[in-house]
Amino acid sequence: MSAKRPIVELQDLRKTYVMGSVFVEALRGLSLVFHEGEYVSIMGPSGCGKSTLLNLLGCLDRPTAGRYLLGEEDVSTLDDDALSDIRGSRIGFVFQSYNLIAQLSVLENIMVPLYYQSRSEQESLILAAEFADRVGLADRLNHRPNELSGGEQQRVAIARALVNDPLIILADEPTGNLDSASGREILEVFDQLHNQGKTVIMVTHDDSISHRTQRVVRLRDGQLVDDASN
């Protein structure tokens, strides 16, 4: 069986924030490779660089130094417009706080990434409905976020993350705002995505969640301290 191709390559990645006269090194020479279909959790204490790393992986920020290859393309130095295109076409985001648009229905929220693609409205509607069905929301298409439970809102966020067929799915504490039963249901969705071959990188502080993943990357003070398979 051939080895899976690298999806993400980080080479000596560094991120420094300037706060007045103080320089804060959030990432200090991080080198990592994530392969197609991997299910990875990123862990570490508060302030270790997890959020900074996720922002860089999601092209929400640029590294101060080093290289970030996403699907073999160096995205480290792209301008804002190019990074926006990358976010819209190659990356799926799932946030702790869902980040749904309150005025839009379930179907319309799922369609948001498709607005940046050259699809007809009819194509987008059909695709969004298909992904709503995949996450068990086929009977909630016209509901707005305030009419849904937390678990249902997170399912909408997952469908929205998947609808553009991204190279990677980035999840930031995706069960952090959910009760334990809803959290288990959402983690089962991520397990299914992994089983379908999706590349999932998840930030979590919970060991019981990290045990579900294939691989656990641990950071401390902006550096890699452990990278182990489960």
- pLDDT tens figures, 200-215: 999 998 999 999 999 9
Domain boundaries, the chain: 6-229
Position 119 scores a pLDDT of 84
Nearest partner of 77 among 66, 89, 88, 90, judged by Cα: 66
Position 3 scores a pLDDT of 63
Under-70 pLDDT residues of the chain: 1-3
Domain 6-229: CATH class, spelled out: alpha beta
174 phi and psi angles, rounded to 5 deg: -65, -15
Position 154 scores a pLDDT of 94
Q: What is the pTM of this model?
A: 0.92
- pLDDT tens figures, 88-137: 889 999 988 899 999 999 999 999 988 878 788 899 999 999 999 999 99
Residue 38 burial class via C-beta count within 10 angstroms: exposed 0-12, middle 13-18, buried 19 and up: buried
